[in-house]
Amino acid sequence: MKANETKLQQIIEGIKQYLVPLFQRPYSWDKSQWESLWVDINELCGASNPRAHFMGSIVTLPTESVPEGVSKYLLIDGQQRLTTVFILLALLRDTLEKQGDGESVELAHEINENLLINKWKKGLDHYKMLPTQTDRDSFIKIMDKAPLGKEDHITKAYKFFERKVKSVDDKARLKTIISNYLSIVSIVLDSDDNPHLVFQSLNGTGTPLTQSDFFRNYFFMRIHTDRHEEVYSELWQPMQVMLGDSLTEFVRHYLMRNGIVIRKNEVFSHLKEVISNGEALEELKRLKRFAEYYHKIIRPDNENVSAIRKKLQRLNRIESTTCYPFLLNCYEDFRMGLLDELAFVEILKTVENFLIRRFVCNVPTDRLKGIFPSLYNQAKLNPSPLSESVKKVLETKGYPTDIEFRHGLTTAKFYGAGDRAKKTKLILETIEESYKHKEQVSFEKMNLSIEHIMPQTLTAEWEEHLGEEGKAEYPVYLHSLGNLTLTAYNSELANDSFYAKKKMLGDSHLEINKYFNDKDCWTIKEIEERTQSLADLILKIWPFFGYESSTENIHDVSGLLPRSLEIVGQKIAVRSWIDVLENTLNVIADLDPERFQQLASDSPKLIGPDKSQFNEFRVLKNGMFIEVQLSAAAIRRYCIHAVESIDLTAENWIIKMKEEPEYTMGYLF
């Protein structure tokens, strides 16, 4: 980047042209800016020893696409002030010509040929500046001394200054002031500079350009100006209209499809590298083609194949943006006939299966960022069909086994902050669909929501219904899978008794709610039984697609005695599950006191400052009391919930049993 302060005449004389990116925002200065500039110029004209007046800066980037002899610069910043100066100089030229005397006409020709046009160049190269598409017609009419056209900011500026210039007696001095006393900092970028960052640093008060503006500008400065209109209308504009605000993110995913992970602030530099290594127009055609795929991925209603459309709609509900680079490659194969409809649908099912299992097992989603960009290339190395190769690769990327999946289904918190409820609703709807009811429910028409059978706020009737042990374990099981269902009567059910809820759910058209018909009560025992029942169904809906799995049930830890707890690097000897609970909560309270207080607030029947509220208790190091009249399974579930609340995962909570197998967050290894 080169920056220097210079006079206006020095930057516009010579055979050169300043190109305002063709489809950037139009000229928008109005009377307030024109008046301010004119006041400054008028003061300089009246001063006996005028000093240079700083107008601001212009940022340009030399183009590389046109070798006809006109030095062309993409005007990244400063188009408003530079356009205004050109209008003012053209008006001064016209006014001098109308005066008719030889000296005035000679000065008018000097302005025209040195400052406004490239005299011997033809077509658009004839002009030293080319504004946006919107402004170009009016601007060229002024440069060509033709009658003014439509009323826009360009023509309004000309008419505003027309009155001002006529009132100036010494027009030669006015020309000198404009060309030699208006000072500008000219910043010329190198090809390695990021104009987006430069613009942001210089243009804090204007309307900043978006990354997509720079993508567009960078393409068009490498395409001959004679083709700009055609290329814009056929390629760029349809893509811009189609994707709107999603365009920048699309370009990021498009570039990532080749196997690299690109951060959001790196997109422009990567795109620049791709364009500089290839033919800009061909790359833009390819980008447009992939934009059509992306449009279908983010808005599946635009996909005509119903089976593919339905699978994409499901993926969008589990917010699967990390897999978009991979799906772009699959869409390209589908369009080219390398992948048939059945294979494409199978791949989409596989991706959903992978994401659902990891969600249930609470695998951090940030790890997905490194999986999907390279998935296509890794799968293509395998001689098997793509739909099978994808399964083989994903199986090695932290894909939960049936043991791990069942553990997640029976212990995970399925309702809470973030997008957990949205994904859980999809799981419950999929269970409903799996019953193959002859009259399938239209989820789009029904306003279904998730209902807690055991409510989120316990009434006195519910406390009596659950009993003392149930009240203590209530926080552990509240958001478990077995306590959740779907209903259109969420507000009506609220905190009603189980018997009232059972009656209303009995009238439901949903098969999933027929489960409650023969239940006489709803306690922790019933919740655990339903959780296992739903887990059995879910294991069939999203079956393990790998080659080594087991359905061994590890949810029951009764009879298993722990001997040590390892948590965030600390190894603690324990003799009972109560020891596990106490030490786990002590570590959490020490690591993150604020999250611990939130746990206490969410679980007043388990943690609190008043020992009288508990049946049996222990005292933590911070003075808080905990309920210990809990089953081994309930303690295990709650410890998992507590550890996950401070963003720890399986590797951070390990229990070793006296029988020797290692028990990690409920997983057996």
247-270 pLDDT, tens digit per residue, is: 999 999 999 999 988 888 888 888
Question: For residue 23, what pLDDT is reported?
Answer: 57
- Beta-bridge partner residues of 663: 655, 668
The pLDDT of residue 3 = 75
For range 647-659, the mean pLDDT:
74
For the chain, the domain total comes to 4
Query: Do residues 174 and 215 share a domain?
Result: no
Residue 556 domain-assigned (yes or no) = no
Residue 608, strand partner residues: 625
Hey, what long-range contacts does 212-218 have (CB within 8 A, 24 or more apart)? 212/240, 212/247, 212/248, 212/251, 213/21, 213/24, 214/268, 215/247, 215/248, 215/251, 215/267, 215/268, 215/271, 216/21, 216/23, 216/240, 217/21, 217/24, 217/74, 217/76, 218/268, 218/271, 218/272, 218/275
Domain-embedded: residue 555: no
Q: Give the DSSP letter of residue 101.
A: -
Whole-model pTM: value is 0.70
**Residue 619 in 3-state DSSP?**
strand
Same domain, 216 and 279: yes
Is 388 among the domain residues? yes
Q: How confident is residue 353, by pLDDT bands cut at 50, 70 and 90? A: very high
The percent of residues in the chain predicted with pLDDT above 70, rounded, is 89
The residue from 541, 574, 594 where one domain ends is 541
**With bands split at pLDDT 50, 70 and 90, how would you rate the model's confidence at 658?**
confident
* pLDDT higher than 80, residue 49: yes
Do residues 583 and 525 both lie within one domain? no
Do 194 and 335 reside in the same domain of the chain?
A: no
User: Tens digits of per-residue pLDDT, 462-501?
Assistant: 999 998 888 888 888 999 999 999 988 766 667 888 999 8
Predicted confidence at residue 225, as pLDDT, reads 67
Quick one: 397 and 527 in the same domain? no
Same domain, 274 and 369: yes
* pLDDT tier, 558 (very low <50, low <70, confident <90, very high otherwise): low
Q: Which of 285-289, 558-562, 660-664 has the lowest mean pLDDT?
A: 660-664
Say if residue 660's pLDDT is above 50: no
Cβ–Cβ < 8 Å for 247, 212: yes
CA atoms within 13 A on the CB side of 283: 20
The answer, yes or no, to whether residue 173 has pLDDT greater than 90, is: yes
- Which contacts qualify for 262-267: CB closer than 8 Å, 24 or more apart? 267/211, 267/215
Helix (H, G, I), strand (E, B) or coil at 497: coil
Please say whether the beta carbons of 475 and 505 come within 8 A: no
Residue 551 domain-assigned (yes or no): no
For the stretch 148-163, pLDDT in tens is 988 999 999 999 999 8
Q: Summarize the confidence of residues 38-55 as an average pLDDT.
A: 89
Span of 180-194, 380-394, 593-607 with lowest mean pLDDT: 180-194
State whether 400 and 410 are in the same domain: no
Is residue 7 a contact partner of residue 180, using CB atoms and an 8 Å limit?
A: yes
- Domain boundary residue among 172, 202, 232? 202
> Is the pLDDT assigned to residue 638 strictly greater than 60?
yes
DSSP string of 59-74, one letter each residue: EEEE--S--SS-EEEE
| Distance, CA of 430 to CA of 203 (rounded, Å) | 51
* Nearest CA-CA partner of 106 in 96, 120, 116, 98: 96
| Full domain range(s) for residue 586 | 562-668
Task: Assess if residue 110 is contained within a domain.
Answer: yes
Answer yes or no: do 423 and 518 share one domain: yes
pLDDT grade for 276, boundaries at 50, 70 and 90: confident
Residues 14 and 155 in one domain: yes
**Residue 348: what residue type?**
L
Per cent of the chain over pLDDT 90 is 50
Task: Please check whether residues 588 and 489 belong to one and the same domain.
Answer: no
Report phi then psi at 4, rounded to 5: -155, 150
- 596 pLDDT tier (thresholds 50, 70, 90): very high
Taking a C-beta distance cutoff of 8 angstroms, is the pair 26, 83 a contact?
no
Predicted local confidence at residue 51, as pLDDT = 85
How does pLDDT run across 1-13, given as a tens digit for each residue?
677 888 888 999 9
Same domain flag for 340 and 234? yes
Mean pLDDT of the chain: 86
Would residue 102 count as lying in a domain? yes
Q: Does 355 fall in a domain?
A: yes
Cα 76 from Cα 60, distance rounded (Å): 5
| Inside any domain, residue 284 | yes
pLDDT at 426 over 50: yes
Q: Indicate the pLDDT class of residue 650, thresholds 50, 70 and 90.
A: low
Cα(589)–Cα(583) distance, integer angstroms:
10
Q: Are 143 and 128 in contact (CB under 8 A)?
A: no
Distance from C-alpha of 415 to C-alpha of 422, rounded to nearest angstrom = 9
- In this prediction, residue 165 carries a pLDDT of 93
**Residues 186 and 47 placed together within one structural domain of the fold:** yes
Q: Which of 383, 404, 425 is the last residue of a domain?
A: 404
Measure the CA–CA gap between 456 and 465, rounded to whole angstroms: 15
